[in-house]
Amino acid sequence: MGTEVMRASRKLDGSDPPDQISRIGSHISRLIYDVRSTTA
């Protein structure tokens, strides 16, 4: 899970406008939070 997020952020880094990156970042962190709360 963690490595997949790292790979995705590395691939997106510098290739999208900043607002797009922050939108994706917040989406990823929300996704991680959902996974943690459902598996906990």
Give residue 37's pLDDT: 85
Give residue 8's pLDDT: 63
CA–CA distance, 25 with 37 (Å, rounded to integer): 18
Give residue 2's pLDDT: 62
Contact 16, 24 (CB under 8 A): yes
At 1-40, the pLDDT tens digits run 466 766 666 665 555 567 777 888 889 999 999 888 887 6
Ramachandran bin of 14, using left for φ above 0, alpha for ψ from -120 to 50, beta for the remaining angles: left
Give residue 12's pLDDT: 56
CA–CA distance, 36 with 18 (Å, rounded to integer): 27
Q: Domain boundaries in the chain? A: 3-39
Our CA angle for 17, 21, 40, nearest 5°, is 175
pTM of the model: 0.42
